[in-house]
């Protein structure tokens, strides 16, 4: 499954909520106007790899709930370079090879998306689709997070089991530094205040809100069945380093954690 595909299930649930409140919704992120100068990273100027310290990343920014409707004019930023999506939502961008980087996506009327840090070791990376979350829909989500402080960060976490681990059911999450952060676990496509642990198959595992901003964050998974995979983690064509930060305001950070081997029993247990 492509990394951002889980946003579709989440926003599908928000559609029903939006219909009730006469609002509209979408997914992944945005916020802020496109950069004035996309330079040679613009999709109308083909990106050419010139040395072995860089790779070409391509992808598509789409509006969630539409499956494949591209977002034109979204700004994709990596390591100080920007690309602006074309009418179809496509972009190409030179990124560092064998060097950690983070990607952000911004578009006026959407929440800004901040991705966790990853490393590309190949010459090219097809990142797939990234869904943007409309501000109107994000505000509906915020209404399900009691006491959310917009001056603090919002982090959405997805726990994924890797073989031989078969399920994330019942896992609990913590964020470090904890600060004033609160957690809301998802049930189906929406956060549920009655849910006290991760539910298998949910669009997202949990949302942390009122998170400290501008500092490195760490998410810790506790499970009676499986153990958290230590970063760095190789998934597909990228290596996730585990580095993540949050921003205040209309911004959403997306973080993936993985569980795999059987959990180690507590010392002294039978």
The domain spans of the chain are: 6-132, 149-262
Backbone angles phi, psi at 248, to 5 degrees: -80, 170
| Residues 152 and 168 sit within 8 Å (Cβ to Cβ) | no
What is the distance between the alpha carbons of residues 31 and 91, in angstroms, rounded to a whole number?
18
- DSSP code for 134: B
| Tens of pLDDT, residues 91-127 | 999 999 999 999 999 999 999 999 999 999 999 999 9
What is the distance between the alpha carbons of residues 93 and 221, in angstroms, rounded to a whole number?
33
What is the distance between the alpha carbons of residues 60 and 133, in angstroms, rounded to a whole number?
14
Assign domain 149-262 to a CATH class: mainly beta
Residue 67 CB neighbour total at 10 angstroms: 10
Backbone angles phi, psi at 164, to 5 degrees: -85, 0
Residue 245 scores a pLDDT above 90: yes
| Tens of pLDDT, residues 5-41 | 444 444 444 433 333 222 222 333 333 333 333 334 4
Beta strand 238-240 with 251-262: parallel, antiparallel or unpaired? unpaired
What is the distance between the alpha carbons of residues 229 and 80, in angstroms, rounded to a whole number?
30
Q: Which residue has the higher pLDDT, 265 or 98?
A: 98
Question: What per-residue confidence (pLDDT) applies to 89?
Answer: 96
Say yes or no: do domains 6-132 and 149-262 share a fold.
yes
| Residues 102 and 34 sit within 8 Å (Cβ to Cβ) | no
What is the distance between the alpha carbons of residues 41 and 92, in angstroms, rounded to a whole number?
6
Q: Which residues contact 1 (CB under 8 A, 6 or more apart)?
A: none
Least confidently predicted of 22-31, 38-47, 203-212, 218-227: 22-31
Least confidently predicted of 38-42, 57-61, 106-110, 155-159: 38-42
What is the distance between the alpha carbons of residues 80 and 249, in angstroms, rounded to a whole number?
21
SS3 233: strand
Least confidently predicted of 82-86, 192-196, 202-206, 264-268: 264-268
Confidence of residue 141 (pLDDT cuts 50, 70, 90): confident
What is the architecture, at CATH level 2, of domain 6-132? Sandwich (2.60)
Question: What per-residue confidence (pLDDT) applies to 266?
Answer: 47
Q: How far is CA 124 from the centre of its chain?
A: 21
Max avg pLDDT among 36-50, 51-65, 224-238 = 224-238
Residue 242 scores a pLDDT above 90: yes
């Amino acid at each position: 499954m492509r990394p951002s595909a889980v946003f579709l299930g989440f926003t599908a649930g928000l559609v029903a909520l939006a219909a009730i409140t006469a609002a509209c919704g979408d997914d992944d992120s945005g916020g802020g106007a496109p950069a004035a100068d996309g330079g040679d990273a613009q999709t109308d100027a083909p990106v050419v790899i010139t040395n072995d310290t860089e790779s070409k990343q391509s992808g598509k920014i789409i509006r969630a709930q539409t499956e494949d409707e591209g977002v034109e004019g979204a700004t994709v930023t990596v390591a100080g370079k920007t690309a602006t999506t074309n009418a179809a939502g496509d972009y190409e961008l030179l990124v560092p090879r064998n060097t950690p980087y983070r990607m952000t996506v911004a578009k006026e009327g959407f929440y800004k998306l901040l991705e966790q840090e990853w490393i590309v070791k190949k010459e090219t990376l097809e990142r797939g689709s990234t869904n943007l979350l409309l501000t109107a829909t994000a505000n509906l989500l915020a209404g399900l997070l009691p006491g959310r402080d917009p001056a603090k960060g919002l982090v959405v976490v997805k726990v994924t089991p890797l073989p031989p681990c078969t399920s994330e059911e019942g896992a609990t999450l913590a964020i470090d530094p904890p600060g004033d952060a609160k957690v809301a676990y998802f049930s189906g496509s929406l956060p549920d205040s009655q849910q006290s642990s991760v539910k298998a198959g949910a669009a997202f595992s949990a949302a942390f809100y009122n998170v400290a901003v501008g500092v490195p964050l760490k998410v810790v998974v506790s499970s009676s069945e499986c153990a958290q995979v230590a970063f760095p983690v190789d998934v597909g064509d990228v290596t996730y380093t585990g580095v993540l930060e949050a921003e205040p305001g209309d911004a959403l950070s997306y973080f993936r954690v993985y569980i795999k081997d059987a959990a180690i029993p507590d010392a002294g247990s039978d």
